[in-house]
């Protein structure tokens, strides 16, 4: 489960996120849709502990982590796929996928790699290659594999569909549905929202650092108040 209340994040002296409230029930997939510069990446980085919270609380899997370091979140089973993939170019795909688990000293690395390669078998023949030798689409799959590998309970996926060819959009969607089916809690951002169709139980919209339920969600909430 992801529970966020009153989250405020600044970069330098500039306030980027103001009073974010967000709730993702355990085992559900929820979307955050917003234009470029709306604050999606800042939100994901703050949830992962890569940016400090100026105010507010973040609870992941029931644990209060508002001030906790990235490694503590990794140890809880929180995985993050950055928008720009961030593979280490001169490390093999296998080592790229396992790196966060090793840094966080998680013991279940080998079994997790095998589990992930069952989900994304097209990476099996590529695990010995260097990150830099993969195509852009293959790098997206490797970055997703890395997040799934250690994100056994929560997955934070920042614009996984951005800049991806239609065939790969479909493939990523299938993998994400399969992962969602395992009981993982998934938060996924997208600039258009089209790609989230059929994938998310609920959606939020983000605009200029403010998050609110998407209009259809708000109408539903009012109807059931």
Ligand X SMILES: Nc1ncnc2c1ncn2[C@@H]1O[C@H](COP(=O)(O)OP(=O)(O)OP(=O)(O)O)[C@@H](O)[C@H]1O
From candidates 11, 69, 88, 221, binder to ligand X by CB under 6 A: 11
Instruction: Give the nearest distance from C-beta 32 to ligand X in angstroms.
Output: 9
Q: What is the largest CA-CA distance in the chain?
A: 54
Nearer to ligand X among residue 18 and residue 116 (C-beta): 18
From candidates 13, 36, 121, 198, binder to ligand X by CB under 6 A: 36
16 binds ligand X (CB under 6 A): yes
| CA distance readout (Å), 102 to 66, 96, 151, 184, 225 | 23, 10, 13, 21, 47
34 binds ligand X (CB under 6 A): yes
Q: Which pair of tokens denotes residue 159?
A: 């614009």
14 binds ligand X (CB under 6 A): yes
Instruction: Give the nearest distance from C-beta 154 to ligand X in angstroms.
Output: 19
107 binds ligand X (CB under 6 A): no
Query: Counting beta carbons within 10 angstroms of the beta carbon of residue 202, is it exposed (0 to 12), middle (13 to 18) or buried (19 or more)?
Result: middle
Instruction: Give the nearest distance from C-beta 71 to ligand X in angstroms.
Output: 22
Contact positions with ligand X (CB under 6 A) in 110-169: 159
Nearer to ligand X among residue 163 and residue 181 (C-beta): 163
37 binds ligand X (CB under 6 A): yes
Q: Closest Cα to residue 156, out of 176, 120, 186, 201?
A: 186
Instruction: Give the nearest distance from C-beta 204 to ligand X in angstroms.
Output: 12
Are 150 and 119 spatial neighbours (Cβ–Cβ below 8 Å)? no
Which residue do the tokens 């209060």 mark? Answer: 64
Contact positions with ligand X (CB under 6 A) in 196-225: none
The 70-99 site mask, x for binding ligand X (CB under 6 A), equals: -------------x----------------
Chain CA centroid to CA 211, Å: 17
Q: What is the DSSP letter of 216?
A: H
Helix ranges (H only) for 63-158 are: 70-76, 93-103, 109-119, 136-150
Summarize as ranges the residues that interact with ligand X (CB under 6 A).
Answer: 11-12, 14, 16, 34, 36-42, 83, 159, 191
């Amino acid at each position: 489960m992801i529970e966020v209340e009153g989250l405020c994040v600044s970069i330098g002296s500039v306030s980027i996120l103001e009073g974010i409230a967000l709730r993702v029930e355990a085992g559900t997939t929820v979307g955050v849709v917003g234009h470029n510069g709306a604050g999606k990446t800042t939100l994901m980085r703050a949830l992962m502990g890569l940016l400090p919270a100026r105010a507010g609380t973040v609870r992941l899997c029931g644990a209060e982590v508002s001030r906790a370091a990235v490694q503590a979140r990794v140890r809880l089973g929180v995985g993050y796929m950055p928008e720009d993939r961030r593979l280490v170019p001169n490390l093999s795909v296998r080592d790229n996928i396992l790196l966060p688990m090793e840094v966080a000293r998680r013991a279940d690395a080998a079994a997790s790699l095998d589990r992930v390669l069952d989900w994304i078998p097209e990476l099996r023949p590529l695990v010995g290659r260097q990150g830099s030798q993969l195509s852009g689409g293959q790098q997206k799959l490797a970055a997703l594999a890395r997040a799934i590998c250690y994100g056994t309970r929560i997955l934070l996926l920042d614009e996984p569909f951005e800049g991806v060819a239609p065939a790969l959009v479909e493939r990523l969607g299938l993998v994400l549905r399969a992962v969602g089916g395992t009981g993982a809690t998934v938060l996924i951002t997208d600039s258009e929202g089209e790609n989230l169709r059929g994938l998310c139980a609920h959606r939020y919209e983000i605009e200029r650092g403010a998050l609110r339920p998407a209009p259809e969600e708000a109408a539903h909430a009012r109807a059931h108040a």
